Amino acid sequence: MKEINNVYIKIINLSLIIFIIILSVYLSKRFYFNEFYYKVPDLIGLDMAEAEKTISSSALNIRNMGETFSTLPYGKV
């Protein structure tokens, strides 16, 4: 009887350890990569006015950085 109780305790401990590992991976992924806080809309191919209008409802900002490595026409995001 005592051996059966020890087996159950080991199974419960292992289950708790697995649960804690899965929960910590989920939470670290969720908060470290900011998936929880910001959703960035797709702005590719929009001009600056359309991009600013699309992003105006969020806490994100747009900066005009230039076109050095862009393959899009001038004025497109």
Same domain? 48 vs 17:
no
Same domain? 43 vs 74:
yes
Same domain? 54 vs 65:
yes
CA angle (62 as vertex; 32, 53 as ends), nearest 5: 110
| pLDDT of 67 higher than 60 | no
Q: Name 51's Cβ contacts closer than 8 Å, sequence gap at least 6.
A: 43, 62, 77
* Residue range(s) defining the domain that contains residue 13: 1-37
Tell me the pTM.
0.43
Same domain? 14 vs 48:
no
What is the per-residue pLDDT across 20-61, written as a single tens digit (0 to 9) for each? 999 999 888 877 776 556 677 888 888 888 888 888 877 788
Residue that has been written with the tokens 């991009």 in this structure: 51
Same domain? 43 vs 76:
yes
Number of domains in the chain: 2
Question: CA 21 to CA 29: how far, in whole Å?
Answer: 12
